[in-house]
Structure 1
Amino acid sequence: MSSAIPVLVGGAAGNPGAGLIATLGAFTSRYGIGRPYLSRGLQLAVVAAALAGAVALGAWASAIAWLGVLTVSAVAVTAVWLCNALAVGPPGAYVFVVACAAGIGVSASHLLPWQIALLVLAGGAVAWTLQMLGATTGFRRPERAAVTTAATAVAGFIEAIGTSAQDDARRRAAVALHAAWKTLVHQQPVAAPPRSVLHRLHAANHAVHVVFADAMAAAAAGVPPEPGSAELVRRLGALDVAPESVAARDADRLPPTRPPTSSLLRQALLPGSHTRRVMVRVAIGVPLAGAAAVALGVDRAYWAMATAVLVLHQGTHLSGTLRRGAERLLGTWIGLGLAAVIIVVHPRGVLLALVLALLQFAIEMLVTRNYTLASMFITATALTIASGTRDLSAAEAGHLLLARGVDTLIGCAVGLAVYLLLADRQEADRLVDALARTHSAADAAADHLDRREATSLAARTARRDLQRATLDLLDAYEAARHGQRDQRASAAQLLPEVMAAEQRSYRTIAALWAVDAAPRRR
């Protein structure tokens, strides 16, 4: 819908090219999924403005090839920094780079950069409106979904106790509970009134945490969990059981606060930060991809740069990076055939809007399930927008398709080469550092436990920080386990210590929850 509406409006106004430029603002709808609506509205407004600015920058820099390469590279590094440090969520930095690169392409419209920015902002406004429509029928639906997901994951852990799936189920439950807590606390721009749905969800999530802590304690002791606790948790998540029947929550006490934005941005730049590692890879890989494309005479170097960002920006381990590059390359080359068919048909007006809407729908349905097929539709979408207002000759169409295929090959090759050259050295100490941070967080939390003091803001902040450090430790271990040879050897050597640190963390967290909830247990 966010893609189709600008095309229809542009066609009705007699300027289909302007409508296609405005579809770049439809990328706004890719963000904010699962966030509470107030938080989502704020985030989407910032995203729409940032996309408009990125496109305008690309249009401004389009006249000089080297300036375009530098501009896209600067946008890429900045977007990786902001998106990773502030946990913007998928699709992350990649879309902003695509928008900047597209600005170089749409400069052929001969519109001024500020005019292009306004068109993109108008498309972003359409996407914002459509994304926020759900608030009219279920304002707290995202919070309900987060609590339900967490409760389901905890129930799965309880049912897995004593089986080989216990550890994996516990990690999934911990991640889901942490995500629900962020949704209920960190992503709430304003306080909710007493006795609101949000307060009931807070109480339910608190009760689910208490049951999770009890189950972890039972698992550590080698005894089965309380009978019926899995079903109890599911009913808590559905608000079918009063949370006070498990443990009352003090609604007046302040939750641990989210670190200030400035602090998060500074932390992301510190030595040892994973965001900083990714920024360095992007800062090297993106301009190299652009320079290579320009040197080889490819006239759309920005496609190579966008592909390099796609390969590098998520900061995944070696196996994931190689897989993403291969999926992107294969999907793009398959998508060139679909794009060729669309270019030959050359849809206009309502048919063009319908084609773009169907392509975007296919992308959304496939992007998390089968990225190769999603890349096929992404390629077809990009080329449909690029050629939507022009009748291309067979030679021009062939050149456009070949350029897209070659640029993707260059971007994947450069991105993977940069990763292979940098990642092993960059991440040599990542797992050791994560272990040290986890031990430090566990010591801080244990100090509160030794004093039987778990209800203060400092104690609950220490508990939260320990949970976060433990999740980061597991991420670092997975990265090493799927990394290059030296990393895999380090992961195998440190596995016993990682498991011991994880077990200590969860025992400490469970004990703190038990002390916290004891005075209010029912």
Structure 2
Amino acid sequence: MKLVTGMSDRLPLAGVLRLGRPSDIWFKPALSVVAAVAPPNLALLVLGRLDLAMYTMAGSLCALYAHSRPYAARARVLAWVALGMLGGLATALVTASLTGSAVVLVTVGAVLAAAQKALCDATRVGPPGNVVLTFISSAALFAPQTPDRIPGHLALAAAAAAWAWLVGMAPGLPRPHGPERRAASGALNATAAYVETAGAGDKAEGGPGDTARAHATAAVQAARHALLSTRRPTETRAALERLVVRAEVALASPADADPALLRAWARQVRGNRPVPEVDDLTGLTGTGTEPASPHAPLWHRLRPLAPLAVRTALGCALAGYASLALGIGRPYWALVTAASLYQANLTLTWGRGVQRVVGNLLGVLLFAALVPLAHTGDVALVLCCLALNFGAEALIARNYWLGSVCVTPMALLITEFAGFQEPGRLITERVVDTVVGALVGLVAAVAVPDRRRQRVVRTERTGPRTLAATGRSQGPRPDRRTGETTEGVRP
């Protein structure tokens, strides 16, 4: 009985599917991916070559990344994501052109998935992390390929990635400091909420005041890192830094702070209005939100991730092999499912598995409803995919399973760009691969534990109590719904 109770505590179902609040910029990635995907796909539609859409989609999906980062940092991240995408795609295309062995293809896909997971975690690229890159490379492994067509396919992906880079950077023209302003506004609003809670006399451990302080500290740290990542000093950045210092001071001494003033500053910071001028109080902070030390070399950041890479490779390979043994024609779906599960610990990995299975099962039902419309013609097919792209990015911040409801039919419809297929077979294969990938992925997570990361997560769970006792930040914590660390908190 104790064993069952312990397992239910570690692998809960309650709360895994609970919806959170939408991101305040939920519409930005949703609109960006539509703007990145639509022109290449419509151009291929006009040319009668929708069969090439898989390669342009590979580049277009780079637009999903780095929306919370200041534009100088965003330019670098998007460029590296595009290079990583092209590297994985090139490896997959060359492999597919050299062998038709499904076992070899699954093995290469598993190794690529492990490398992508480790690199994305080590570089802290942020959501959607390795999943999109693994989806691209795994699908390319099982597409018919010949060596003479590889340069053209890579050129299409590179052109679409360049367009996605421009789409991601375009909002910087009218609002060059938009991300930093949002981060500073979030820090001021979160600090005001904590000041109001502290003023109400909430001293209970783990209560609303404890939680509000943890949220405020994380928001202030996110603003600090956002301002640091701009690198180029400007008057606007200096003014925003002074406001963030004010938030730090209020966090350290809530009794002396005015929440109404903090909220007024937060409103003024948004948009392109002049940033409020306040006194420079640098040096008077005590909240522990000082900038983190520079990153260690990439090799040093990769070494602790070795167990995660092994687990990802093992889980993806076994999931793909199991799918092959069951006679499924697209084992990369099982491989991608396994790759999407791995989070900071077993509890979060279990939660992601539940979210993935629920979202995919609901997603195939949505696909079944959309198929009659999508099969009316290529124009309807492209428009359905664009709508699902928007829906996926608009909803996934609420909970991973909700976004997966749109991602699943989108992935199924993409397979039909080369020609309409029998819906029943697609649905059956997707359901089987989802269940197989989730089960085998969880087995691999249990078989190859990452004790170092588990210790880190256990420490992070005490963050609110530590904050209440010491006033010092414990750094970014993983989101309980997704297992991802908030992108803006990362340097």
TM range (shorter): 0.7 to 0.9
Q: 1:337 aligns with which of 365, 370, 378?
A: 365
Deviations 1:103-146 (A, max 9, x none): 12333588633322222222222222222211111010100000
Partner of 1:77: 114
What is the alpha-carbon distance in structure 1 between the residues aligned to residue 44 and residue 143 of structure 2? 15
1:382 positional shift: 0.7
Change (3 A) 1:428 1:26: closer
5+ residue gaps, structure 1, are 216-224, 435-471, 479-497, 510-522
Q: 1:61 aligns with which of 70, 95, 108?
A: 95
Deviates more, 1:59-68 or 1:104-113: 104-113
Write the distance in 1 (CA, Å) between the matches of 2:177 and 2:380. 37
Aligned counterpart for 1:96 among listed residues 133, 144, 157: 133
**Aligned residue number for residue 293 of structure 1:** 323
Structure 1 residue corresponding to 2:81, chosen from 30, 47, 56:
47
Q: Aligned in 2, Cα 1:243/1:474: closer, same or farther, shift over 3 Å?
A: farther
Q: Secondary structure at the match of 1:102?
A: helix
Task: Give the drift of 1:507.
Answer: 6.4
Instruction: Please report how far the alpha carbon of residue 176 of structure 1 lies from its aligned counterpart in structure 2 after TM superposition.
Output: 0.8
Q: Please, what is the CA RMSD of the aligned residues?
A: 2.7
CA distance in 1, matches of 2:282, 2:357: 54
Q: How far is 1:410 from its partner?
A: 0.7
Structure 2 equivalent of residue 444 of structure 1: none
Preserved CA contact (<8 Å) 2:213 2:467: no
User: What is the rounded CA distance, in whole Å, between the counterparts of 1:429 and 1:29 in structure 2?
Assistant: 30
Question: Quick one: which amino acid aligns to residue 398 of structure 2?
Answer: R
Q: Could you tell me the TM-score, scaled by structure 1's length?
A: 0.74
Mapping 1:231-310, distance limit 5 Å: 231-237=260-266, 238-239=268-269, 241-244=276-279, 247=281, 258-260=293-295, 262=297, 264-270=298-304, 275-310=305-340
Q: Within 5 A, what are the aligned runs for 1:41-190? A: 41-62=75-96, 63-107=100-144, 112-161=149-198, 162-163=201-202, 164-185=207-228, 187-188=229-230, 190=231
Give yes or no for contact 1:184–1:198 (8 Å, CA) kept in 2: yes
Query: Contact between 2:341 and 2:352, CA under 8 Å: does it hold in 1?
Result: yes
SS of equivalent residue, structure 1 residue 334: helix
Q: Normalising by structure 2, what TM-score?
A: 0.78
Deviation at 1:404, TM superposition (A): 1.6
Gaps of 5+ in 2: 1-33, 270-274, 285-289, 475-491
Amino acid at match of 2:244: N
Q: Which residue matches 1:365?
A: 394
Q: Given the superposition, is the C-alpha separation of residues 429 and 323 from structure 1 closer, same or farther in structure 2, using an over 3 Å criterion? A: closer
1:15 to 2:49 alignment = yes
CA contact 1:300–1:403 (8 Å) conserved in 2: yes
Higher relative contact order (CA 8 A, sep 6+): 2
Q: 2:443 aligns with which of 408, 411, 417?
A: 417
| 2:429 maps to amino acid | A
Max radius of gyration: which structure? 1
Which structure has more helix as a fraction of its residues?
1
* 1:372-423 superposed Cα distances (whole Å, 9 cap, x missing partner): 332221111111111122133x4xx432322121111110011122223444
Is contact 1:152–1:233 with CA below 8 Å preserved after alignment? yes
Aligned counterpart in structure 2 of residue 406 of structure 1, from 432, 447, 459 = 432
Q: Give the corresponding residue for 1:323.
A: 351
Is 2:37 the partner of 1:3? Answer: yes
1:209 aligns with 2:237: no
Give the distance between the partners of 1:405 and 1:382, measured in 2 at CA: 13
Identity %: 27
Give the AA of the match of 2:185: T
